[in-house]
Amino acid sequence: MWLLFAVLSSIFAAATSILAKCGISGINSNLATAIRTVVVLAMSWIVVFVTKTDCNFSSISRKNWLFLILSGLSTGLSWLCYYRAIQAGKVSKVVAVDKFSIILTMIFAAVFLHEQFTVKSTLGCLMIAAGTLLMVM
């Protein structure tokens, strides 16, 4: 099931880049990011209510709050930088550099979550790095 959601995520992310590039024409990229964020916020809460998700906030630990807030800040900074980049550059090149985050995520996962690099994942990272360089040059 995770693979289906990962594929759907990839499809929606691809559409997001194209739709965003069309949507930011002639407006400030920070304003565009704020508008997108409001839509994402509304959609997220609609999903919580439609799926009748348990909203017992008191059961969320301080550690959970801390890391969710830090993740939100990181997402916000990523979106602000991404929108600025696609406004100034070609989407195909920005996306290639943005997906370099796969390599950084794997490194962070190894350092902070103690996940192991395998021969396959190392080769995959090297190919992503090579592909990023080829697409950007």
pLDDT at 137: 85
pLDDT at 44: 96
pLDDT at 48: 95
pTM (two decimals): 0.84
Any idea what DSSP says for residue 133? H
Mean pLDDT per 10-residue segment, the chain (137 residues): 91 91 93 95 96 91 96 94 94 91 94 95 94 90
